[in-house]
Structure 1
C-alpha cells in the first residue's frame, strides 16, 4: 500500500511551474520557503519533472517507474507460480512412479 502524499499534487505542479517559468530562476530554498514546503521536496519534484520531460538521464521518468513496478510485481507472481508448479510436478512424479523410493 502506498503512503499518502504529504503535499497535494496541485501544489507540486504549481511549484515546479513557478520554478521553470521564473526568469531568472529563483533559488530553490527561497521558493520552497515562500510555498511552505521543504526545500529537498521541491528539489526532488523539479528533478522528477525534468526526468519526465527527458531533460535528465540520471532518473527514470514517472511512466518508466510505474512500468518497472508493474513488471516487478508480474515477475514475483510468475516466480511464485513456477515454484508451485515445480512442487506439484515433484509430488505427482513421486505418485506416478511406483519404483521410486519414498
Structure 2
C-alpha cells in the first residue's frame, strides 16, 4: 500500500497550474525550486494530470457540444456554397464599375 502524500490535492493542482502557466519559459526544475518539491515530483504530477480520464458527465456534455458545433459548421459550409453564384455576380459587378470609374 502506498503511503499518503504529504502534499494536498489543492497544492498539487496549484503546482500543475503554475507549471502550465509558465510552460515554455521555465523548466520543471525552476518551478519545483519555487515550490520546494523535486522536479521529478512535479513532472509526475503533470504527467498524471494529463493522463487522467474525463468524468463521464463532462464527457457527455462535451460530446453534445461538439456534435452541436459540427452541425452548425456543416450548416454554415452549406450556406456558403449556396451564396457562391451571388458572390461571383457581385465580384464581376464591382470589377465592371471600377473600370468605368477610371
After TM superposition, the score normalised by the length of structure 1 is 0.46
After TM superposition, the score normalised by the length of structure 2 is 0.46
- Structure (1 or 2) with the greater helix fraction: 2
Instruction: Please identify the structure whose Cα radius of gyration is greater.
Output: 2
